[in-house]
Amino acid sequence: MSKKLIRFDWAIKRLLRNKANFVVLEGFLSELLFDNIKIEQILESESNQETEDGKYNRVDILTQNSKNELIIIEIQSTYEIDYFHRMAYSVSKSISENHRLGSKYKEIKKIISVNIVYFDLGQGQDYIYKGRTNFRGLHKNDLLGLSDKQRTTFLKENVSDIFPEFYLLKVNQFNDNAKDTLDEWVYFLKNSEVKDEFRAKGLKEAGEVLDIMRLEKEDEYGYNRYMDSLSLKASEIFTLQTEAEFKAKDERSIEIAKNAILKGYDNSIITDLTNLTNEQIEKLRNELKK
């Protein structure tokens, strides 16, 4: 048995900002980062402000955990070819916005960027990717490490611990076969369902907090409007794709017809080849005579 729940991308904008519901985000991040994550606060910045486009296209949340690290969670519902660039921009912006001018560079906070996308981004067979910054020697192929003084001063073990860390979840790539607790979260992100046998941190609470039946009237209205906007966006994209396919097909048919005309085929044969009407074929014949 499973229960249909509110979509995570809507909930993270509304319900999960409530401190009482931090346990849901903490559970998700703990499973993803293989750590016991405690959220201290939700931080607001210019990039978090809600826009008309953001109502259906993107959800951002910036949190600070008990280790004084900043965690960005971004959700992208529709295809965006330059999403990798936006990941880099969001991290850079968070670093600059949360560093006081005049402060020592050592006080720059570690950024963890979590990106949940509902389209196929890049090329790869997996559905969860992790990116870190390491420096490797061009001649010795050795990994550049921190000195003893740096480890003591910065309380970091590796150079990569200083630089931003990226996680990319390509949700639609998941085959719905949950083999571990992290997979259980990916299943929920994809299907908005929590199965009775799931044991991942935060999912039990998500099943309670995100129960559609528990929504207040105002939230229920807002959620239904959000779902309508997703349907509208999906329809717009489908329409554009369909029109592009028909245009490509028409262009191909016209090219075939022109070649057939030049080879001396009669209209009936060209119609069979392309489905063009006799009038369309005659128009092409006239154009080729000019």
Rounded Cα gap, residues 93 and 99, in angstroms: 10
Q: Which pLDDT does position 128 carry in this prediction? A: 97
Q: Which pLDDT does position 230 carry in this prediction? A: 83
Q: Which pLDDT does position 3 carry in this prediction? A: 67
Q: Which pLDDT does position 18 carry in this prediction? A: 87
71 contacts 28 by C-beta, under 8 angstroms: no
14 contacts 96 by C-beta, under 8 angstroms: no
User: Per-domain residue ranges for the chain?
Assistant: 2-214, 231-289
Alpha helices in 155-216 (DSSP H): 181-191, 203-209
Q: Which pLDDT does position 48 carry in this prediction? A: 43
Least Cα distance to 115 among 68, 163, 170 occurs for 170
Q: Which pLDDT does position 52 carry in this prediction? A: 43
| Tally of CB atoms within 10 A around 243 | 10
Rounded Cα gap, residues 260 and 255, in angstroms: 9
**Which residue stretches of the chain have pLDDT < 70?**
1-3, 44-59
Q: Which pLDDT does position 2 carry in this prediction? A: 66
Q: Which pLDDT does position 236 carry in this prediction? A: 85
List C-alpha distances in Å: 220 to 43, 62, 214, 232, 238.
25, 25, 9, 18, 27
Q: What is the pTM of this model?
A: 0.79
Structure tokens belonging to residue 124: 């790869």
Q: Which pLDDT does position 117 carry in this prediction? A: 95
